[in-house]
Amino acid sequence: MSAFKRRLPTSAQQNLPGVRLCALSPFHPIMSTGVPSLDDVLGGGLPLSTSLLVQCPDSYSAWTLLVQKYFISQGLRSGHDICLVGD
């Protein structure tokens, strides 16, 4: 008999709005960035309790602001708390 036990996701993680389990690693809950193509690059979305830094040469480019707006709107739609920090 093994001393190791499989850690199953808690029901609290499964019930968070906008959060789903990653297909690649079913024990890591993820949330969408709001941009489907970026979610694909990240393996389905952004893992919970992580940060994502998007760095562009021009901080005021339309692309940077667009990703920021999509991510914020996805969080608001899911009922998550949002903290936006700028320089």
pLDDT 10s digits, 45-84: 888 888 777 666 776 677 777 888 888 898 898 888 888 7
CA–CA distance, 2 with 4 (Å, rounded to integer): 5
pLDDT 10s digits, 3-42: 776 666 555 445 677 888 877 777 788 888 888 898 888 8
Report whether pLDDT(44) > 60. Answer: yes
Distances 68 to 7, 10, 56, 78 between C-alpha atoms, Å: 34, 30, 12, 16
Report whether pLDDT(87) > 60. Answer: yes
Predicted TM-score of the model (pTM): 0.63
Show Cβ contacts of residue 72 under 8 Å, excluding neighbours closer than 6 positions: 34, 82, 84
